[in-house]
Amino acid sequence: MTVAESTYSGATSSVKTRYQGKRHRLDRPELLAPAGNLEKLKFAIHYGADAVYIGGQKYGLRSNAGNFSFEEMREGVEFANRYGAKVFVATNIYAHNEDIGGLEEYLRNLEEVGISAIIVADPIIIETAARVAPKLEAHLSTQQSTLNWQAVQFWKEEGLPRVVLARETSFEEIAEIKKHVDIEIEAFIHGAMCSSFSGRCVLSNHFTDRDSNRGGCSQSCRWKYDLFVDDMPMYPEGEDQFTMGSKDLCMIEYLPELIDVGVDSFKIEGRMKSIHYVATVVNVYRQAIDSYFEDPENFVLKQEWLDEIFKAANRPLNTGFFLDTPGAEDHIYEPEDKPAPYDFAGVVLEYNEETGIAVVQQRNYFKLGQEVEFVGPGGRFFKQTITQMTDDKGQELDAARHPLQRIHIRTLAPVEPMDMLRKLMIKK
């Protein structure tokens, strides 16, 4: 059984021939990546994202992410412009009365620093942006739970150029929407799913007094719980506790179907995820999209792409609602082994072609004699064993122990700045 077969067991192959409609608006789908901070923004774009979505310090649903100041946004926009990429800002809370103060100034500042679009759910934020910051596009957030073409048509008539569909939307429903409405459609194609409908959860509110729909989600569904029946525990003392989070979404196997059905923007979830996660997932989807458009009739899903996806996976994967309604098997009820047996170990800062020495900034402990992988944009990849390491003073090292330490390593092949170093996790 292949990785794809084991990952997508139960998925039907008939979807591959069902959606051959005319595409709308964009020449090819946009690859939209999350960026929880400025460094992640740069890595996402460097590894192939056409656009990134970030959070500011107000009005977003990830209050615990490394959200951007306006100066950081400006720097991010300047970096994106060098790659021909765009920056979107999530302003997707459901606003209470006390949230409205300062909204006009905030939106004007977003427009002034060069943000291309806001992702928004609340109508008052949409209306305010149109009035005070007309250069900002407004993309309807998935938080609006848009599932049908009439609702999409409504938002088009309100002047929105793009709708981010509810994560519960199927291939059939997307095809029907694109049949009736000429508008850009954005859909999540990879990352964490929510156990509640379109993220409209109140568990966090009740358990921790943190409002999920105002940026405070405590991810209560990922907690461990004791499960009781008639006041009797179902699990003996000492056994793993019950969890109820959903498996993660991965649609890399169905890339041609996503294109054929007319999805204009492929959205990756994960503003709270690591640099390694964001760069790896973006790198794979970038290669797959480009490969498809080079020769659509002979597109082949490569095993190495699947292997890379699993090296960044946080949880078991499935296809969400695209093919059918998820069942009990699509949720996580007990703690599971981490699918990704690799850790992010370092980032290449510079490389000397004459000596073959790379300077790597340490991000995780690694040591002499350990096998590592170097990964770069476009599928550049090789393995090697570390046989010698020194610090900036030329002193021999047996391990890279200190965070952000500069480590000099002789590499078996050329590397480039922003290439990543990863290591195989050693189970204790």
Domain 342-424 has CATH 2.40.30.10: yes
Place of tokens 């995820």: 273
pLDDT tens, 323-359? 987 776 766 666 655 556 788 999 999 999 999 999 9
Contacts 24+ apart (CB under 8 A), 76-84: 76/35, 76/38, 76/41, 76/42, 76/52, 77/113, 77/114, 77/115, 78/114, 79/41, 79/42, 79/45, 80/41, 80/45, 80/51, 80/52, 81/114, 83/45, 83/46
Query: What's the CA gap between 233 and 25, in Å, rounded?
Result: 55
- State the pLDDT confidence band at 83, using cuts at 50, 70 and 90: very high
Q: Which of 158-167, 212-221, 415-424 has the lowest mean pLDDT?
A: 212-221
Query: What's the CA gap between 426 and 3, in Å, rounded?
Result: 22
- State the pLDDT confidence band at 132, using cuts at 50, 70 and 90: very high
pLDDT value at 34 more than 80: yes
Counts of helices then strands in the chain (DSSP H, E): 11, 23
pLDDT, averaged across the chain: 86
CA 330 vs CA 7, 61, 167, 305: distances in Å = 11, 25, 14, 22
Residue 164 φ/ψ, nearest 5 degrees: -90, 110
User: Which residue spans of the chain are classified as CATH 3.20.20.380?
Assistant: 3-199+245-332
Query: What's the CA gap between 105 and 358, in Å, rounded?
Result: 46
Write down the pLDDT at residue 222.
Answer: 65
Nearest partner of 252 among 195, 299, 200, judged by Cα? 299
Q: Which fold has domain 3-199+245-332?
A: TIM Barrel (3.20.20)
Strands 86-91 and 51-55, how do they pair?
parallel
Contacts of residue 242, Cβ cutoff 8 Å, sequence gap at least 6: 224, 225, 226, 227, 234, 235, 333, 334
Query: What's the CA gap between 27 and 291, in Å, rounded?
Result: 15
pTM of the shown model: 0.86
pLDDT tens, 250-274? 999 999 999 999 999 999 998 889 9
User: Which residue spans of the chain are classified as CATH 2.40.30.10?
Assistant: 342-424
